Chains A and B, each alone.
Chain A
């Protein structure tokens, strides 16, 4: 049986400062855009 090497997640955590800020920033911008479009779509539907 091969154990899933979750212990090695330590490296992924050490990588967090490298990849997390750009990804979080990008996802943040995309979420804000999606929220704005949904809100406007709801408003135009209600009118």
Chain B
């Protein structure tokens, strides 16, 4: 016990992970909620309580879904919105204020915890609620207990996301805090929630197909349910767009080409899927839902809560391009050809539109040099995303329309798309910092101490190092706000800031230079940080410093001297869990499409795909 207390005392270092007391509070609360859920599920299935059934029946009457789907679908929708708001608010907290003292010291964390637990709750209820076999796609758990496939998918996504919490804490303790959205365990947290939209979409489709005839939604829910397929597709677009958050806030730590690549991936996957399973106008409606949801989040986080504002892509032109592609190729008949055509349009016309939009509102506008760098990766990603979206949209649409009206393609095309996107990421993550670049800096006082701000004039040597740069900017963050400032070119090799840069207190202020594969930075001011530990880098009135690997400045919390095998093992562990979830979702979607009926259609049948053969096995 004594040793444990000593360890706990030593572990109060906020640069390493969570404070033990706060971890215990969060864990206890979650344990109580889980125990209550477990009891409720057990009591429902053994007939000890009818409370769950009564609530589910009321929700079913209001939504027009089957009883086992109505309550979970509402819980999952509210939970996803809660987690989404928490995520953007949390990121703005960290950008403005740096590290948290503990897991419950930041109010945004409550929203994330409650949201992710809500997704788990939705999946759990969907699995325990049904009597008998709820749908053709349902899988038997044991005896006469069948779980809807959507419930299993939701449960898996939630568990994947929740497992990111303890792994994140362990990651921070092993390697130091990775102050980036793209830390492996951070990606688990947001990726699980984003992919839960697939489970939610399956839940609504499965629940609608299995609903008794005559069930009709009423009131406000009636309006929402009439547009629910487009809303879910818009939600999927929101989920896939969360990976762009560093670019949305103006603090990207990876190559700029990832911004158009991520936009193309999200647009191609979600909008192609939306047009196939939500029908005509589905892509445009999904983009409209995206703008409403993200617009509200932006207003809440920025102007209302007073934090750094998250920006957002438009997706309007991409959505119009997908609708246009549907005029040339019937999406339900030749989904992969439709996905490919949509991808080509998104990768060209969509790219151009987002380029223009980046200059209208994005914090990091795209330079013309980005076109040459990004056009091939964007095109590959968009076409690959179109293939994935075609598969997702077809499998989601099949149970509702029937395979007589909708061709369900083989999964191999989606797997090829996934491989294509993975290849683009491997290409983009391969960076080499430029060496031998120096900056001579003169700081002019703008505001006197103690809240000192300065204007920086930087002479870069060699002068050509900043030619055709993706960005040359100053950034100051984590001291109580965010300043992003593009430097003005004032002479050969000489650049100047245009906004006052804070160089006091907890602010971290630096010059950033990104050109092709190189991301380097020059610190102007970094505070002393005993928790890491790290010395102060003072803001002298004149100094010459070497540009260094930018990650070393932006992520100075990362520990050095970690045995090389350890990161490899850690990445392999996280990668294996992620691959497991992707395979599970792929199987679930394939089964979902394969177990669809023919819809009773008298229309001309399209050639039955190999998935049709799977249907005969899968339906048993």
Q: Contact: A18 with B17, CB < 8 Å? A: no
A15 surroundings in chain B (CB, below 8 A): 18, 23, 26-27, 165-166, 169
Q: Contact: A11 with B38, CB < 8 Å? A: no
* Whole-angstrom distance between the Cβ of A13 and the nearest chain B Cβ: 9
B440 at the interface (CB under 8 A from A): no
CA distance A43 to B169 in the complex (A): 45
Contact with A along B172-197 (1 / 0, CB 8 A): 01100000000000000000000000
Q: Contact: B38 with A21, CB < 8 Å? A: yes
Q: Contact: A11 with B18, CB < 8 Å? A: yes
Kindly identify which residue among B11, B38, B127, B155 contacts A10, using a CB–CB cutoff of 8 Å: B11
Q: Contact: B152 with A21, CB < 8 Å? A: no
Nearest residue, chain B, Cβ from A7: B7
Contacts A29-B127, A30-B152, A37-B139 hold; do A22 and B159 have CB atoms under 8 A apart? Answer: yes
* Whole-angstrom distance between the Cβ of B172 and the nearest chain A Cβ: 9
* Whole-angstrom distance between the Cβ of A25 and the nearest chain B Cβ: 7
Contact with A along B26-45 (1 / 0, CB 8 A): 11101100110010000000
Q: Contact: B562 with A2, CB < 8 Å? A: yes
Task: Give how many A residues have a beta carbon under 8 Å from the other chain's beta carbons.
Answer: 29
CA distance A1 to B117 in the complex (A): 40
* Whole-angstrom distance between the Cβ of B150 and the nearest chain A Cβ: 13
Q: Contact: B561 with A2, CB < 8 Å? A: yes
A25 surroundings in chain B (CB, below 8 A): 34, 38, 124, 155, 159
CA distance A30 to B24 in the complex (A): 28
Q: Which of B12-71 contact A (CB under 8 A)?
A: 16-18, 20, 23-24, 26-28, 30-31, 34-35, 38
Kindly identify which residue among A4, A17, A29 contacts B27, using a CB–CB cutoff of 8 Å: A17
Nearest residue, chain A, Cβ from B116: A22
Q: Contact: B166 with A29, CB < 8 Å? A: no
A11 surroundings in chain B (CB, below 8 A): 11, 17-18, 20, 23, 169-170, 173
B20 surroundings in chain A (CB, below 8 A): 10-11, 14
B566 at the interface (CB under 8 A from A): yes
B322 at the interface (CB under 8 A from A): no
Q: Contact: B159 with A12, CB < 8 Å? A: no
Q: Contact: B158 with A22, CB < 8 Å? A: yes
Contact with A along B137-174 (1 / 0, CB 8 A): 00111100001000010011011001101100110011
B563 at the interface (CB under 8 A from A): yes
B120 surroundings in chain A (CB, below 8 A): 22, 26
Q: Contact: A18 with B141, CB < 8 Å? A: no
CA distance A36 to B141 in the complex (A): 7
A36 surroundings in chain B (CB, below 8 A): 139-142
B117 surroundings in chain A (CB, below 8 A): 22
Task: Give how many B residues have a beta carbon under 8 Å from the other chain's beta carbons.
Answer: 49
B interface, over-half SS? helix
Contacts A11-B20, A14-B20 hold; do A5 and B173 have CB atoms under 8 A apart? Answer: yes
CA distance A37 to B140 in the complex (A): 8
Q: Contact: B163 with A5, CB < 8 Å? A: no
Q: Which of B537-590 contact A (CB under 8 A)?
A: 559, 561-563, 566, 584
CA distance A22 to B117 in the complex (A): 9
B614 at the interface (CB under 8 A from A): no
A16 surroundings in chain B (CB, below 8 A): 27, 166
A32 surroundings in chain B (CB, below 8 A): 141-142
Q: Contact: B563 with A4, CB < 8 Å? A: yes
Q: Contact: A23 with B159, CB < 8 Å? A: yes
B124 surroundings in chain A (CB, below 8 A): 22, 25
Contacts A29-B141, A33-B147 hold; do A4 and B166 have CB atoms under 8 A apart? Answer: no
CA distance A12 to B11 in the complex (A): 12
Q: Contact: A19 with B174, CB < 8 Å? A: no
B30 surroundings in chain A (CB, below 8 A): 17-19, 21
CA distance A10 to B170 in the complex (A): 10
A17 surroundings in chain B (CB, below 8 A): 27-28, 30-31
* Whole-angstrom distance between the Cβ of A3 and the nearest chain B Cβ: 9
Kindly identify which residue among A2, A10, A29 contacts B4, using a CB–CB cutoff of 8 Å: A10
* Whole-angstrom distance between the Cβ of B124 and the nearest chain A Cβ: 7
Q: Contact: B563 with A2, CB < 8 Å? A: yes
A27 surroundings in chain B (CB, below 8 A): 159
CA distance A33 to B588 in the complex (A): 12
B8 at the interface (CB under 8 A from A): yes
10 contacts across the A-B interface (CB closer than 8 A): A7-B7, A11-B173, A14-B24, A14-B27, A15-B165, A17-B30, A18-B165, A21-B34, A26-B120, A29-B152
Q: Enumerate the 9 nearest inter-chain pairs by beta-carbon distance, A residue then B residue, closest first.
A: A17-B31, A26-B159, A18-B27, A21-B34, A8-B173, A17-B27, A15-B166, A18-B30, A14-B23
Further 19 A-B residue pairs, CB within 8 A, beyond A22-B120, A23-B159: A4-B174, A7-B7, A8-B17, A8-B170, A8-B174, A11-B170, A12-B166, A14-B23, A16-B27, A17-B31, A18-B23, A18-B26, A18-B27, A22-B34, A22-B124, A25-B159, A32-B141, A33-B141, A36-B142
Question: Which B residues form the contact surface with A (CB < 8 A)?
Answer: 4, 7-8, 10-11, 16-18, 20, 23-24, 26-28, 30-31, 34-35, 38, 117, 120, 123-124, 127, 139-142, 147, 152, 155-156, 158-159, 162-163, 165-166, 169-170, 173-174, 559, 561-563, 566, 584, 620
